[in-house]
Amino acid sequence: MSTAPLPPRRGRATTFMLLSYGLHAGALGLLVWQPAWWPWALAIVALDHLAITAAGLWPRSRLLGPNWRRLPAAAAQGGQVVISIDDGPDPKVTPQVLALLDQYAVKASFFLIGTRAEQSPELVADIVSRGHSVENHSYSHPHLFSLFGPQRMAAEVARGQDCLTALSGQRPRFFRAPAGLRNPFLEPVLARHGLWLASWTRRGYDTRNADADNVCARLLKGLAAGDILLLHDGHAARSASGQPVILAVLPRVIEAISQAGLHCVTLPEALLAARLAREA
Question: 115-167, pLDDT tens digit by residue?
Answer: 999 999 999 999 999 999 999 999 999 999 999 999 999 999 999 999 999 99
Between 203 and 43, the higher pLDDT residue: 203
Give me the residue spans of the domains in the chain: 15-56, 73-279
For residue 280, pLDDT beyond 80: no
Written as one letter, the residue type at 2 is: S
> Average pLDDT, stretch 199-217?
97
Q: Where are the alpha helices (DSSP H) in the chain?
A: 15-33, 38-56, 73-77, 94-103, 114-119, 121-129, 150-168, 186-193, 212-220, 245-259, 267-279
**pLDDT at residue 30, as a whole number:** 84
Tell me the pLDDT of the chain averaged across its residues: 94
Q: Looking at residue 115, what is its pLDDT?
A: 98
What CATH fold (topology level) applies to the domain 73-279? TIM Barrel (3.20.20)
Amino acid, res. 110:
F
| Residue 277 pLDDT greater than 80, yes or no | no
What is the number of alpha carbons within 13 Å of residue 47 lying toward its C-beta?
Answer: 9
> Which residues does residue 197 pair with via DSSP β-bridges, in sequence order?
175
CA distances from 245 to 136, 237, 248 (A): 23, 6, 5
DSSP state string for 162-231: HHHHHHHSS---EE--GGG---TTHHHHHHHHT-EEB--SEE--TTT---HHHHHHHHHTT--TT-EEEE
Say whether pLDDT at 226 is over 60. yes
Q: Model pTM?
A: 0.93
Q: Which residue would you say has higher pLDDT here, 48 or 118?
A: 118
pLDDT of the residue at 2: 55
Looking at the predicted structure, is the pLDDT value of residue 250 above 60? yes
**What number is the average pLDDT over the span 159-181?**
97
Choice between 226 and 43, residue whose per-residue pLDDT is larger: 226
- pLDDT the model gives residue 66: 96
